[in-house]
Amino acid sequence: MAFVLAVTGSAVGLGNIWKFPYIAGQNGGGAFVLVYLLCVFLVGMPVMMSEILIGRRGRRNPVATMALLGQEEGSSSNWKWLGGLGVLAGILILSYYSVVAGWTVAYIVKSASGVFAGATPERVSAQFGEFVGNWRLVGLSHTVFMALTIFVVARGVERGLEQAVRFMVPALLVLMFILLGYSISSGHFGEGLAFMFTPDFDRLTWDSVLAALGQAFFTLSIGMGAIMAYGAYLPEETSITGASGTVVIVDTVIAMLAGLVIFPLVFANGLDPADGPGLVFDTLPLAFGQMAGGAFFATIFFVLLSFAAWTSAIGLMEPAVAWLVEQKFRTRAQAALMVGILIWALGMGSVLSFNVLAEFKFYKGTIFDNVDHITSNIMLPLGGVAIAVFAGWIMCRNSTAEELGGAGRLYKIWRLLVRFVAPVGILFVFLKAVGLLPELS
């Protein structure tokens, strides 16, 4: 139970409520959502199970675990580089994640001040635009959020965190249902539902498929060894399949709820589903602004979202800190402070991407766009291929069967997914999206 709570705390975060709706909106809805769900269940869940079983067998930080198991399974200790890739991915993701988490922290204050009461869509969008345009304010929120994260990681996490997640996830669900009630009554629920669940494959590009795959990895916290780090503490007798299934379902339900709340609001207010990273901040305040007790609910909502982001941020920092601590030349507090300051500094690039450096664009766009793309759509899926190959091809059947509780039917399905479906599928989508595979016709 403690393990499921910890992994749920890392999985449920901005990825579900902020990122999923805006990416689904940018990629045309229905077909994207369908591909996303396929990725979550056919690739995400088996890779999550692989990470947990690898972590439990190695019982060390991801770098040391991969080195140890690589040797134990008759391959090489060079698998440690996979752990290293994860450490780097965590640092890069947290650099921009903390900036968006800072937005949610700032929105607690805005909500409590009552500025959204009865606001028009134009006012709410202008509020967001002015806010992210002010680099000092955004930089300050980013700094506050990073300081809170460093503080917890420095002290060593676990116990309090589980209690927090036990309360936060149900509370978040309750608020999502309240919002769902509002969005159903807003009159455009059918339109939102159709946008999310009517697939139009003509609008689906290989870039969108890669974005769906990347989002599946991002939202489940997989592909970078973070779940491996949690797996190291999992007792022998706990069912890996059961734990993964619970996390995947909770995570998916929250993302779907976020979409079902946000898209009807988009259509009811004549907004654009492809609005981008500001989508949640341009829509939810409208709903809160019109319901009774809205300022109260909005404040609670952004507190919970900041909290969800916080439990994820701790997980993002953990691989780097655990690795430094096991290098023995740093105490935990020193390691957390060093890593945290590095992440904070990198994050300033994303802070400035919405104001001072908004026109500074290369490759996929601003600094923020690039860090997001490189981590979610390149590093995590490639990390996922390596994890799947390791669990499916390098580890012997006996080792994995032992961890997954015997070689039954479920085990055979898992092994098929991890040996063939995940690696081939990920590589195919990846090569298609970067244009390295030619059209067949």
Which stretches of the chain bind ligand TRP, using CB under 6 A? 10-11, 13-16, 93, 218-219, 221, 224, 226, 312, 315-316
As a whole number of angstroms, the distance between CA 50 and CA 303 comes to: 33
* Minimum CB distance to ligand TRP, residue 282 (Å): 20
For ligand TRP, give the closer residue by CB, 168 or 271: 168
DSSP code per residue over 259-279: HHHHHHHHHHTT--TT--TTH
Q: H or E element: which one contains 63?
A: helix 62-72
For ligand TRP, give the closer residue by CB, 106 or 226: 226
* Minimum CB distance to ligand TRP, residue 229 (Å): 9
* Minimum CB distance to ligand TRP, residue 12 (Å): 7
For ligand TRP, give the closer residue by CB, 13 or 289: 13
The residues facing 365 across adjacent strands are 362
N-to-C CA span, the chain: 51
* Minimum CB distance to ligand TRP, residue 293 (Å): 27
**Residue sitting closest to ligand TRP (CB):** 15
* Minimum CB distance to ligand TRP, residue 16 (Å): 5
CB 241 within 8 A of CB 410: yes
What are the φ and ψ backbone dihedral angles of 365, each rounded to 5 degrees? 135, -135
Residue for token digits 């740093």?
Answer: 330
Distances (CA, A) of 108 to 273, 292, 334: 24, 18, 31
The residues facing 19 across adjacent strands are none
Of the candidates 360, 260, 401, 279, the one whose C-alpha atom is nearest the C-alpha of residue 19 is 279
CB 259 within 8 A of CB 36: no
The residues facing 272 across adjacent strands are none
For ligand TRP, give the closer residue by CB, 106 or 401: 106
| Own/partner long-range contacts of 164-168 (Cβ < 8 Å, ≥24 apart) | 164/9, 164/307, 164/311, 165/5, 165/6, 165/8, 165/9, 165/311, 166/5, 168/9, 168/304, 168/307, 168/308, 168/311
* Minimum CB distance to ligand TRP, residue 94 (Å): 8
* Minimum CB distance to ligand TRP, residue 162 (Å): 15
* Minimum CB distance to ligand TRP, residue 247 (Å): 10
* Minimum CB distance to ligand TRP, residue 163 (Å): 18
Type of residue numbered 179? L
For ligand TRP, give the closer residue by CB, 135 or 302: 302
For ligand TRP, give the closer residue by CB, 6 or 271: 6
For ligand TRP, give the closer residue by CB, 138 or 161: 161
**Contacting residues for 434 by C-beta, under 8 A, at least 6 apart:** none
For ligand TRP, give the closer residue by CB, 95 or 312: 312
For ligand TRP, give the closer residue by CB, 10 or 186: 10
